[in-house]
Amino acid sequence: MTIAIGNDHAGPDYKFAIIKHLESKGITVVNHGTDSLDSVDYPDFVHPVANAVTNKEADFGILICGSANGVAMTANKYKDIRAGLCWTKEIVTLIRQHNNANVLCIPARFTSIPQAVGMVQTFLETDFEGGRHQRRVEKISSNC
C-alpha cells in the first residue's frame, strides 16, 4: 500500500508522526508536504497528493493543515477525490463506511498528534460498506 501525504506549516510534526506510524506497518509513504514551520500555501501541497490518488500512484491520501478546511476544499475539486475533514475516529469511520473517502484531512490545530495517528489507523482499517451508500457516492461528482 502507498499513501501520499501533504501538509502546510501547521502540520510537519503531525506528518512525521504519521509517517513513522505508517512505515512501522510496512506502508510506503510519499511525502508531498513541507518539512518546515515557515508559512506556505496549502494548495501547493494538496495538488500533488490529489493527483497521486487520482492517477492511482497512491491508494489513499492524507492532508494536514490548521483547520483542514482549505486542504479538503482543494482536494475535493478533483473529480475522483472524496476528501473528508475529521477530528474524531468516529467521523473517520463514517467517511470510509458511508462516503468511500480516499483522502483524510486532519486539522492540526484541533487535534493532538496521538489523535491524528489514531485517526489514520482507523481510516486504513475501515472499509466502504457499499450497498445503499454506493449510489450516493456515485452522485457526488458534479457535471457542472
CB distance 107 to 66 below 8 Å? yes
Which among 98, 105, 133, 144 is annotated as catalytic?
Answer: 98
Task: State yes or no: is 65 an active-site residue.
Answer: yes
Per the CB < 8 A criterion, the answer to whether 132 and 99 are in contact is no
Is residue 32 annotated as a catalytic residue, yes or no?
no
- SS in 3 state form for 18-87? HHHHHHHCCCEEEECCCCCCCCCCCHHHHHHHHHHHHCCCCCEEEEEECCCHHHHHHHCCCCCCCEEECC
Give the span between the Cα atoms of 5 and 98, in whole angstroms: 23
Cβ–Cβ under 8 Å, residues 41 and 70: no
Is the distance from CB of 62 to CB of 116 less than 8 angstroms?
A: no
| List 9, 32, 65, 86, catalytic entry | 65
* Residues annotated as part of the active site: 65, 98
